[in-house]
Amino acid sequence: MKHSLCDPLILLLILGSSGDADGLGSVLHISYKHLRYPLTWENAQSFCRREFTDLATFYSLSDVNAAYFKSYNSWIGLHKDTSWLFGTKWIWSDGQTHKVNWQDNVENAEGNCASVAYKDKKIYVRDCGNRLFFTCQTSDKNYVFILEAKTWPEALDYCRSNYRDLVSFSSDDYDDVFFDREIPTWIGLHRDGASWKWSWGDTEYTNWLGELSASNDCGSISSLTKTTAPQGCGTPLPSLCIADNLVLMKEKRSWQEALELCRGLQSSSDLRYDLLSLQPADNQDFIRTKVMQADTEEVWTGLRFLAGDWLWVNGADMLFTDLPFCPAPGQHCGILSKRSSSSMETRDCSEGKNFLCYSYKPVV
């Protein structure tokens, strides 16, 4: 597909420090992060937006199946006795002695109460004022998991009032007490007027379970059946965030300036950055949401016409087949548009636009 007459000026410097993506079909990475601590929907949204991208959005059943969110925290009856004459010691609320599997570096952990983090089978030290789910124990050694977020003292009172006590167990009994449970988990679905929308972008995926309640305005997904259901937004639940490796730069720059700024981005980790390359099979709905947040109608990508060919500056495969065979003079750089983010368009490289960078870890 080489036609050097279309582009007599070869800018070798553009490819000189390209990202480590030679031959890759895609550089877009989307993942889901599970937060076990119960939060209200609004607080979960704020946390996800601050630390990741947003509350989870699903685009297909394969996205749902790719997310793991079966883990949960549970208060147990183990707590620190600070009244002991010789310092402090850990005791069970039922007065028994049980062998336990402590977290790593437990001697440096702060807090006076203990919880289980399913499913690493370890016991963790927590501040007693944290609000977690909990497990009660009945008089005949049955176990009841309570899907309500309470402090440790509140959980203890609840179990003693309704059952017998907070659960006590040894390491050998762990699998009898803690196992996969159906737990609703916050995602980005929420009611907006008469319709349901996603906190991040647009998608047709919902998979609702049962009738939609008029009094519940936020959506959750169940940890086992993977169905979505409405919940009261103020209910503390675990949550699922969506994270990605794209960075939208809201500066109006030429294509060359955008390339240099992406590659000059700094990270506290060993990540590097480059102008974004795309493939037709990439998640177009997700990318469109990024593009719609730009301050310009179009954003630069890493597409460039060089030496008579269309190239991604990071060396990724070129799978788009509808690019102009011989672009007009100056129309040698690729953009995504708010009008149509599913196809590449070409523009004059000197125009000022926002641009999309992506992060990657170089191969050592």
Show the domains of the chain with their CATH numbers: 4-29+245-360 (3.10.100.10), 30-69+181-243 (3.10.100.10), 72-177 (no CATH)
Q: Are 234 and 40 in contact (CB under 8 A)?
A: yes
Task: Look at 40 and 339; give whichever has higher pLDDT.
Answer: 40
- The percent of residues in the chain predicted with pLDDT above 70, rounded, is 89
pLDDT band (50, 70, 90) for residue 13: very low
pLDDT given for residue 7 in this prediction:
45
- Distance separating the N- and C-terminal Cα atoms of the chain: 32
| pLDDT at residue 263, rounded to an integer | 96
What pLDDT shows up at residue 272? 93
Average pLDDT over residues 125-131: 96
Indicate the pairing of strand 89-92 with strand 72-81: antiparallel
> pLDDT band at 43, cuts 50/70/90?
very high
Which of 44-48, 75-79, 201-205 is least confident? 201-205
pLDDT above 60 for 117 = yes
- The pLDDT tens digits for 74-90 are 999 999 987 765 657 89
Would you state the pLDDT for residue 171? 85
Q: What is the pLDDT of residues 145-168, one digit of tens each?
A: 999 999 999 999 999 999 999 999
More confident residue, 198 or 85: 198
- The conformational region for residue 330 under phi > 0 = left, psi -120 to 50 = alpha, else beta, is left
pTM for this structure?
0.86
pLDDT at site 350: 96
Residue 330 has what pLDDT? 87
Interval 322-346 mean pLDDT = 88
pLDDT at 189 over 60: yes
The per-residue pLDDT for 203 is 86
Residue 136's pLDDT is 97
318-329 pLDDT, tens digit each: 888 889 888 988
Determine the pLDDT at residue 5: 45
What is the structure's pLDDT at 225? 93
pLDDT at 19: 52
Cβ–Cβ < 8 Å for 228, 208: yes
- The per-residue pLDDT for range 247-304, each reduced to its tens digit, is 999 999 999 999 999 999 987 778 999 999 999 888 888 999 999 999 999 999 999 9
Return all residues near 18 (Cβ < 8 A) that are at least 6 apart.
274, 313, 314, 315
Asked if residue 364 has pLDDT above 90, the reply is: no
pLDDT of residue 10: 42
- Tell me what the mean pLDDT of segment 39-51 comes to: 97
The mean predicted confidence, pLDDT, of the chain is: 89
